[in-house]
A and B are shown apart, each in its own frame.
Chain A
């Protein structure tokens, strides 16, 4: 493994991640803006109204304004997850075993936190 190759690979991954994060967040914001515009045309809206997960899924499947907002929010959450997945794949290709293990640990911890929290 030569050190001189490192910066090139590093800037490569930066460009890939830049594109992923930008695309993810832009899509999410578009959904949120469209959802808000549609929602504001319906009378009697309380913006602090909360939704259970079941209700949210129902709204999404019916593509209601709240459902469109729901898709936007899910896209926001998905973006960092896709980011971790991508870095793992890049480091796997780069054969940097240390960073692959690091990425896998982070994914494991998030899953663990999710399981722990949903119990």
Chain B
């Protein structure tokens, strides 16, 4: 379990996803434990992932703190307001729609190059938008990347949906937030995964408190998983700056396809989680 957690920590910290989608089924299948215990363990693990990797990314200057805090509002609101979509659609329908969206996003991410996405606004920006301007040094490309955030409203809506879906179909926000930031908002992929990681902890903390106060915590199991994630995220967050942006995007597209297929399987009733 420790080794599995290390692996999830590495992948999650590089790609800006919490890893709950992998951790919960693994915990329930391997250890045969209650799904609520698995969920609580996974939530604590996500917070560890977020704190460990984003502290490193903050140091590297990769996290867009203001953008993260702004989008965080919509993710947490989406999560708390709860299943808006469940009223309109069946969960299996949502899973199919999400599966198609994820696979489509993966293809789109491969077709559209990073250089064509990032823009630095010319001329004066509004005070609102200039707040989100950010820059970081990319050691892999050996240059300083400076960018302006675009389509802020669209990104906020995406974050709300990400938060809203997280409780519903068992995915965390990262898988939606990272492409939304990258493709819609013009945030470079490394800054997007780092900022997503920065946000994850806050989104997970509210639910984690609820689980723990209801007594769904197995301290020893949580400790083993947390230590594994800490080690993995420490390795992953030191690796990300050195990988090229193109590689990160390819890896992210691959994980989108994997989760997309997982969604189809869930809709067909082949996977229960």
Complexed CA–CA distance, A14 and B220 (Å): 33
Evaluate whether A79 and B70 lie within 8 angstroms (CB atoms) in the complex, with A11-B61, A109-B76, A114-B210 already known: no
Q: Is A8 interfacial (CB 8 A cutoff)?
A: no
Complexed CA–CA distance, A33 and B226 (Å): 10
Q: Is B158 interfacial (CB 8 A cutoff)?
A: no
Question: Using a CB–CB distance below 8 Å, which chain A residues touch chain B?
Answer: 1, 3, 6-7, 10-11, 13-15, 17-18, 21-22, 24-25, 28-29, 32-33, 35-36, 39, 45-53, 55-56, 59, 66, 69-70, 72-73, 76-77, 79-81, 83-84, 87, 96, 98-99, 102-103, 105-106, 109-110, 112-114, 116-118
Q: Is B232 interfacial (CB 8 A cutoff)?
A: no
The 20 sampled A-B contact pairs (Cβ below 8 Å) are A15-B59, A21-B58, A25-B51, A47-B224, A51-B219, A53-B213, A56-B212, A72-B223, A73-B44, A76-B47, A76-B226, A77-B44, A83-B51, A96-B131, A98-B131, A109-B76, A109-B80, A110-B76, A113-B80, A117-B213
- Asked if A56 contacts B201 (CB within 8 A), the reply is no
Q: 6 tightest A-B contacts by CB?
A: A117-B210, A52-B215, A21-B55, A69-B219, A80-B201, A113-B206
Task: Determine which of B34, B61, B212 lies in contact with A73 in the assembled complex, contact meaning CB atoms within 8 Å.
Answer: B212
- When distances are taken between beta carbons in the complex, the residues of chain B under 8 Å from A48 are 31, 33, 37, 218, 220-221
Residue of A6, A25, A35, A99 most packed against chain B (CB within 10 A): A25
Question: Using a CB–CB distance below 8 Å, which chain B residues touch chain A?
Answer: 31, 33-34, 37, 44, 47-48, 50-52, 54-56, 58-59, 61, 63, 65-66, 69-70, 72-73, 76-77, 79-80, 127-128, 130-131, 133-135, 201-202, 204-210, 212-224, 226-227, 230
Complexed CA–CA distance, A81 and B59 (Å): 19
- When distances are taken between beta carbons in the complex, the residues of chain A under 8 Å from B202 are 80, 83-84, 106, 110
Complexed CA–CA distance, A69 and B219 (Å): 6
- Asked if B230 contacts A17 (CB within 8 A), the reply is no
Task: Determine which of B33, B69, B212, B215 lies in contact with A99 in the assembled complex, contact meaning CB atoms within 8 Å.
Answer: B69
Interface of B is mostly: helix
Complexed CA–CA distance, A69 and B217 (Å): 11
Complexed CA–CA distance, A76 and B207 (Å): 13
How many A-B contacts at CB < 8 Å in the complex? 183
- Asked if B230 contacts A77 (CB within 8 A), the reply is no
Task: Determine which of A21, A55, A84 lies in contact with B51 in the assembled complex, contact meaning CB atoms within 8 Å.
Answer: A21
- Asked if B55 contacts A29 (CB within 8 A), the reply is no
- Asked if A73 contacts B209 (CB within 8 A), the reply is no
Complexed CA–CA distance, A27 and B149 (Å): 35
Complexed CA–CA distance, A106 and B47 (Å): 16
Task: Determine which of B50, B61, B209 lies in contact with A14 in the assembled complex, contact meaning CB atoms within 8 Å.
Answer: B61
Task: Determine which of B72, B73, B205, B220 lies in contact with A47 in the assembled complex, contact meaning CB atoms within 8 Å.
Answer: B220
- Asked if A45 contacts B220 (CB within 8 A), the reply is yes
Evaluate whether A117 and B44 lie within 8 angstroms (CB atoms) in the complex, with A18-B58, A48-B31 already known: no
Evaluate whether A6 and B69 lie within 8 angstroms (CB atoms) in the complex, with A32-B223, A36-B223 already known: no
Complexed CA–CA distance, A112 and B201 (Å): 17
